[in-house]
Amino acid sequence: MIFTVAIDGPAASGKGTIGRALAHRFDFAHLDTGLLYRAVGAKVLAGGEAIAAARALRPEDLHAEGLRSAPVAQAASRVAAIPEVRAALLEFQRRIARREGGAVLDGRDIGTVICPEAEAKLFVTATPEVRAERRYLELVQSDPTCTRDAVLADVKARDARDTNRADAPLAAAEDAVVLDTSEMSVEAALEAALALVKARL
Ligand code: C5P
């Protein structure tokens, strides 16, 4: 069976949590596509060149240490605006999306560019303040020096860059179901996502 769940949305909207839970529930593969851009961003921070790094990316690079840090997130959103970087990462994502057995991909352009034919599309969002608070509570565990203000500024900077870039900007596909999780519990968001997928299966 070929069945793709495309989940798009801004940073810390809850799309990763929803993606992982859906993949687990339906025994689908799961790809957090942000990791691809983070892995390229990390290589650039280490002195590499973005396009060459994207072309040479290997699956094991997605397990590198430190990909979740704020500097890597910013580097990721900068390399993600380079069309050649996006082109180099396209086939890998498409192959996983259409693999036999079902797949959940989360990112910014899954329903619009990577897999416009996805059987179920979700656009998960929340206010910048709610998303920054969630990300802060995550980050402060490993970096006690991080502040709420810095995390909010980081979230807003990435939103602006991801929404305004020319190539595959962050946007809801026309046929995506929009889920605003600002005032939703994780359980309620998961339930809504689950209902959407079940209705399309
Ligand atoms: O989702 P995550 O926060 O890990 O993504 C890191 C960065 O990678 C985003 O800010 C965005 O610029 C980029 N990205 C993208 N397209 C995707 C997934 C992530 O441009 N499908």
| Structure confidence by residue, pLDDT tens digits, 149-176 | 999 999 999 999 999 999 999 999 999 9
Atom index in ligand 1 nearest the CA of residue 105 equals 21
Which atom of ligand 1 is nearest the CA belonging to 73? 6
Q: What percent of the chain has pLDDT over 90?
A: 98
Nearest Cα residue to atom 19 of ligand 1: 34
Pocket of ligand 1 (CB under 6 A): 11, 33-34, 37-38, 73, 76-77, 80, 107-109, 158, 162
13 is in an annotated binding site: yes
pLDDT score for 25: 98
Closest C-alpha to ligand 1, atom 5: 34
Average the pLDDT over 93-112 and give the result: 98
DSSP secondary structure code for residue 62 in this structure? G
Tell the residue nearest (CA) to atom 2 of ligand 1: 34
pLDDT, residue 89, reads 98
200: confidence class by pLDDT, cuts 50, 70, 90: very high
pLDDT at 187: 96
Residue type present at position 20: R
DSSP 4: E
Please give the Cα distance from 78 to 76 (Å, whole number). Answer: 5
pLDDT number for residue 144: 93
> Is 145 annotated for ligand binding?
no
Ligand 1 geometric centre to CA of 9 (Å)? 9
| Residue 8 alpha carbon, nearest atom of ligand 1 | 21
Q: Which atom of ligand 1 is nearest to the CA of 114?
A: 21
Instruction: Categorize the per-residue pLDDT at 55 as very low, low, confident or very high, splitting at 50, 70 and 90.
Output: very high
What mean pLDDT value characterizes the chain? 96
In this prediction, residue 30 has a pLDDT band, given cuts at 50, 70 and 90, of very high
**CA of residue 34 to ligand 1 center, whole Å:** 4
Measured between alpha carbons, how far is 70 from 92 in angstroms, rounded to an integer?
25
Banded pLDDT at 129 (limits 50, 70, 90): very high
Query: Helices marked H in the chain — which ranges?
Result: 15-26, 34-45, 50-55, 70-79, 83-97, 128-139, 148-164, 186-200
